Amino acid sequence: MKVKVHWIIDGIAEMDVEAPEEAEAKVEEMLKEVMASAPQLIETLGARAIQGKAFLPGSEDDPDAS
């Protein structure tokens, strides 16, 4: 029997940087390294996309908070 599993990894990284874009770039680079070192994430687990958005503290940890 074939069964599909939809999985999500959710996390919040806290970094000391000069600008939100710098934090996004650092996290992106780290995640690219993880993906490259663990090909089973793509081959077996079917990872298709990883995305994130930097935000400033005090916004209730919600990047879309107004």
pLDDT tens sequence across 18-40: 999 999 999 999 999 998 999 99
- Whether the predicted pLDDT of 60 surpasses 70: no
pLDDT at 8: 86
Gyration radius from the chain CA atoms: 15
As given in the structure block, the two tokens for residue 42 are 């793509």
The dihedral sign for the CA sequence 51, 11, 38, 29: positive
Closest CA to 53 of 25, 27, 22, 24: 24
* Domain residue limits at 35: 17-56
Residue 65 included in any domain: no
pLDDT at 50: 83
Task: Report if pTM > 0.85.
Answer: no
Residue 64 included in any domain: no
Residue 6 included in any domain: no
Q: What's the whole-number mean pLDDT along residues 39-62?
A: 83
